[in-house]
Every structure is written in C-alpha cells, then in structure tokens.
Structure 1
C-alpha cells in the first residue's frame, strides 16, 4: 500500500482556502480515478467522483511521483 504525502502548498494553502476538502477524498480519487493524464511540469492529474461531496467530480494534482498530493478541487468543467 502506498504511503501518500501532501505538499506544503496543499497543507498551507489548499486546506486554508478550501477547508471542506478532506485528505481521504483525495486519496480515494488517486486510487480509483475515472481519468488520469500527465500534466506539464512533471505533474499528474487524476479525476474521480467524491460521493461524500454530492457525487461531484474532483481533480487531484500530484507531483511526478504520484504520491505527493499537491492541489485538489471540484472540477465543474470535467468531460471524459
């Protein structure tokens, strides 16, 4: 089982600006994505449904290692 970590940006900015976001949701998206794509600058994007947040799609961005979570948010414009 992977041991996930959270970037300083995640801990200091994301959780402050979006206190409703739960780390468990982000891990669930990473482990059960409906879509994954490589992003520029050595990052990865994962999309997944968060049932606890009214079944909305969240995008979770990780660093290149896919273990350090960097930026999660609800993605209103998601298209498969």
Structure 2
C-alpha cells in the first residue's frame, strides 16, 4: 500500500481503488485541503472543500473531510459545482 500524504478513512482508501477515483492525484487533494476555492460545513460537522483543477480541464474537485478538519473521507470531481 502506498503511503498517503494526508490522513484518510478506510472508506476513502476503498473507494480510491475505483477507476474513476484512482486518477485523482494526491497533490490535487492537498491543494484542495490547503487552499480551497469554496468551503461548506455540513450539519453533521463534515467539511466540503472545492478546488478548480486546471490539469483536469478546470473541473472542480470536491474533498470531504471529517469534523476534525484533516481526515479525508471522500474526493471526487463534482460535475454540478459552479462558483
């Protein structure tokens, strides 16, 4: 198993094996964590952050964090998000 550059859940590790998620680079996730273009805190305390990824035709990556603000639970390109 490859070491992650960030904390993550077992769910994230499992979902990351899907072909549509495996291509999401760790550096894109780190960029989203460190300097999001938009952030929303959900009612359950989880944090949604979005970042425009130029290398993917400017699509927005959504990263969902646990309430601790540092553990990645999910990451995917959000087709519906618009700033």
Unaligned runs of at least 5 residues, structure 1:
none
Matched, 1:44 2:64: no
CA distance in 2, matches of 1:77, 1:52: 18
1:40 Cα deviation (Å)?
2.6
Count of aligned pairs between the two proteins: 77
Quick check: which one's strand share is greater?
Answer: 1
Give the secondary-structure state (helix, strand or coil) at the position aligned to 1:66: coil
Q: 1:30 aligns with which of 19, 29, 33?
A: 33
For residue 17 of structure 2, what is the aligned residue in structure 1? Answer: 16
Q: TM-score, normalised by structure 2?
A: 0.82
CA distance in 2, matches of 1:10, 1:51: 23
1:51 Cα deviation (Å)?
2.1
For residue 82 of structure 2, what is the aligned residue in structure 1? Answer: 79
Unaligned runs of at least 5 residues, structure 2:
none
Range 15-24 or range 59-68, more displaced: 15-24
Q: 1:67 aligns with which of 65, 70, 78?
A: 70
1:30 Cα deviation (Å)?
1.3
